[in-house]
Structure 1
Amino acid sequence: TQTLEEIAMNQDPILQKAMDKWENMSHDSSFRSAYEAREKLLLDEQAKLAHAREEGLEEGMEKGLERGKIQLIRSMYENGMTLDDIAKFTGLNIEEIRRVIR
């Protein structure tokens, strides 16, 4: 990679200028501190987004399961299953089942 870097820098004066500037700035402790702070900020933001995405997925799955349970209860009732049997299979009480089928 060093050989490729040397070839690229010799052929591209803009790249050479950027590399020289980077080299000079990387020796400056205040620049390094600012760079590290920025890097930490970006990593923290990525972690927050990943956490929010995970929470969103969990919430979506819970809502989906709830909707599925509601559809199942309504289907059981529409197919003639008694409220007592629905309660037995779902773990809900009769009042909860009545609210669902309304």
Structure 2
Amino acid sequence: MEELAMNDKRIKDALTIWQELSQSPEEYYAYESRLKYILDEEAKLEDAKYFAEKEGVAKGIEQGEKKKQQEIALKMLQKNMDLESIAEFTELTFDEINKLKEQLDE
């Protein structure tokens, strides 16, 4: 009979609930506290995953934009455009543009 009960999910759930309710108030409180702690920790992990993923996506977009700015600056340098115009259109600093210019000269 017990084997049959363990194979039926509804009966198994009912037995679990009955066992929980059969505990002393102190045991039940300890059980509920532990369950709350576990759920809180799982929620913290999910939050951390969400924010890490969100930050990773933002960082990837930022890196992609920077790379595109550098590619545009390189094309402008190849066309011998002045540094002020390159800085204005790409929003790169003069130092960044000069480093790219050095790469072209190599």
TM-score, L = length of structure 1: 0.73
Runs (4+) of structure 1 moved beyond 4 Å? none
Change over 3 Å in CA distance of 1:39–1:75 after alignment to 2: same
Change over 3 Å in CA distance of 1:84–1:17 after alignment to 2: closer
Within 2, Cα distance between the matches of 1:86 and 1:65?
A: 15
> Secondary structure of the residue that 2:51 maps to in structure 1?
helix
Aligned sequence identity (%):
20
| Alignment partner of 1:21 out of 10, 16, 20 | 16
Within 2, Cα distance between the matches of 1:56 and 1:18?
A: 41
Is residue 72–residue 90 contact of structure 2 (8 Å, CA) maintained in 1?
A: no
Q: What's the CA shift for 1:21?
A: 1.6
5+ residue gaps, structure 2, are none
Within 2, Cα distance between the matches of 1:37 and 1:93?
A: 50
Listed as ranges, the matches of 1:1-102 within 5 Å are: 13-14=5-6, 15=9, 16-25=11-20, 28-101=28-101, 102=103
TM-score, L = length of structure 2: 0.71
> Secondary structure of the residue that 1:56 maps to in structure 2?
helix
More contact order relative to length (CA 8 Å, sep ≥ 6):
2
Range with greater deviation from structure 2 (22-31 or 66-75): 22-31
Superposition RMSD in Å:
2.1
Range with greater deviation from structure 2 (33-42 or 87-96): 87-96
5+ residue gaps, structure 1, are 1-11
Aligned AA (1:42): E
